[in-house]
Amino acid sequence: MSLAGRLAQYGQARGSTGRAAPVRAARPPGAAREGFAHAVMEVAVARGGARPAELAEDLAALELPTAPALARALATLAVGPREGLDAECPAVMFDLETTGLMGQPSTVVGVAAAAWHVAPDRLRVEQWSLGQLGAEGDMLVHLEGVLRSHVGPRCALVTFNGASFDVPLLRRRLVRHGIVRPTDDPLRMPHVDLVVPARRLWRDRGPDCRLGTLERDHLRLGRRGDVSGAEVVELLWRWLERPDAESAADLARVQRHNRLDVISLAALAHTMHGRMRRPVDAVERLRAARHHQRLGRSALALELLQPLLVALARVAARRRGSALEVEAGMLAADIDRRAGRRGEAARHWARVCRAVPGHAEAHEALAKHLEHRARQPGAALAVAGASDSPCARRLIRLRGKLAEGAEIPSLPQVIDAWADPRV
């Protein structure tokens, strides 16, 4: 029997036995839609400046950085090229909206946006929106071309969580459509993922570290009627299935969400830069210092730690200092030790020992310093023995080093001597 005949019979059998039709009911075909849409708009950096009507309200309270300001901000937040980012176009902000998680076969890119400075005080935002699922390949070719033509050694790609999501997903979709060979990786470009510094600054300091939350809490970006991640998926599917006005409104909501996300990346970078330089409270101060140290800027880290270190120095003996001050002391000691400033390091450890008697790490570090650097086994023994969890081997060794009948100095004496050395 021909296939036609078999299909007819198959349809008969299925229909008559009353089995449910597969998947979704067929939709009536609407007007032919173009494969994808590409929109361009320009946004002024200044708050009162020229901004497209649909964005003006949302961005009203948002302070966007100029190009040089963004370059500075990114330099604070991540390790950049030696000669620095281009002051005219330091970065391309980028964000995707998809119909699912990475790794799900049904995930396609629905909407994508990229933004960059075309003038020191003006941002250009380009947005791609999928009209037909089968046109995803074409859309991504266009998108990838735009990215590649702007991103370079002195112009970084900036995303939020893009290292785990947007970039690998984009690459996978490009390979899937046969646009990029499986062995190639054209998206290997300088990339600043803002989720990293964001987590460093704000981990456990709010409900979460998602972009929307940070926008709300730190950028004062007021969005009314915004969509959630799960909603985005549903709205995109509806748009792809139904060609009517209602679903077009759905798409518009997703587009708006995406545009705001991409623009706010610049503002977020700028804000985080501010916090890393001028932290608003002690916790931020400490975290910012850690961040700077991670990036190899120890001088800046120490500078930021100063207020906390001063407070630590003032803590009288046996009065417990705050945990932040203690942490600051340990961090400063670590920085100094690595830089070879051992005396300074010892001072910090001693101060911690004074503030928190028995603090294991500080006692051990100080004891080690006394034993091997200062070569004062008696003092070392006094300090080591006072630790909450002393190292047995060290104690035995130190006792061995002491001369017969030598006196072990008193702990407070040792601590004071090293915490406030008289030059």
**Contact status: 13 vs other proteins (CB under 8 A):** yes
**Contact status: 9 vs other proteins (CB under 8 A):** yes
**Contact status: 173 vs other proteins (CB under 8 A):** yes
116, 148 contact by CB (below 8 A): no
Q: How far is the CB of 9 from other proteins (least distance, A)?
A: 6
First vs last C-alpha separation in the chain: 104
382, 409 contact by CB (below 8 A): yes
Place of tokens 């708050």: 47
- How many residues touch other proteins under the rule CB under 8 A: the total is 48
**Contact status: 219 vs other proteins (CB under 8 A):** no
**Contact status: 7 vs other proteins (CB under 8 A):** yes
**Contact status: 28 vs other proteins (CB under 8 A):** no
Pairing of strands 156-159, 191-193: parallel
**Contact status: 230 vs other proteins (CB under 8 A):** no
Write out the two tokens for 385.
Answer: 């023995």
Q: How far is the CB of 187 from other proteins (least distance, A)?
A: 14
**Contact status: 3 vs other proteins (CB under 8 A):** yes
Site residues for other proteins, 231-290, by CB under 8 A, read 233, 237, 240-241
**Contact status: 38 vs other proteins (CB under 8 A):** no
Query: 10 Å Cβ neighbour count for 276?
Result: 25
Region near other proteins per CB under 8 A, out of 9-17, 48-56, 383-391, 409-417: 9-17
Write out the two tokens for 298.
Answer: 């120890």
**Contact status: 296 vs other proteins (CB under 8 A):** no
Q: Which of residues 31 and 423 has its CB atom nearest to other proteins in the complex? A: 31
Q: How far is the CB of 171 from other proteins (least distance, A)?
A: 9
Give just the sign of the alpha carbon dihedral 177, 181, 186, 187.
Answer: positive
**Contact status: 165 vs other proteins (CB under 8 A):** no
**Contact status: 10 vs other proteins (CB under 8 A):** yes
84, 104, 323, 343: which one binds other proteins (CB under 8 A): 104
**Contact status: 181 vs other proteins (CB under 8 A):** yes
Region near other proteins per CB under 8 A, out of 23-31, 265-273, 339-347, 406-414: 23-31
Give just the sign of the alpha carbon dihedral 235, 236, 237, 239.
Answer: positive
DSSP symbols for 209-239: --HHHHHHHHS----SSPPPHHHHHHHHHHH
Residue 227 has, within 13 A of its CA and on its CB side, a CA count of 22
Region near other proteins per CB under 8 A, out of 176-184, 322-330, 350-358, 378-386: 176-184
Name the burial class of residue 13, with classes exposed (0-12), middle (13-18) and buried (19+) by CB atoms within 10 angstroms of its CB.
exposed
Region near other proteins per CB under 8 A, out of 3-11, 55-63, 193-201, 384-392: 3-11
Length of the chain counted residue by residue: 423
How far apart are alpha carbons 346 and 358 in whole angstroms?
Answer: 16
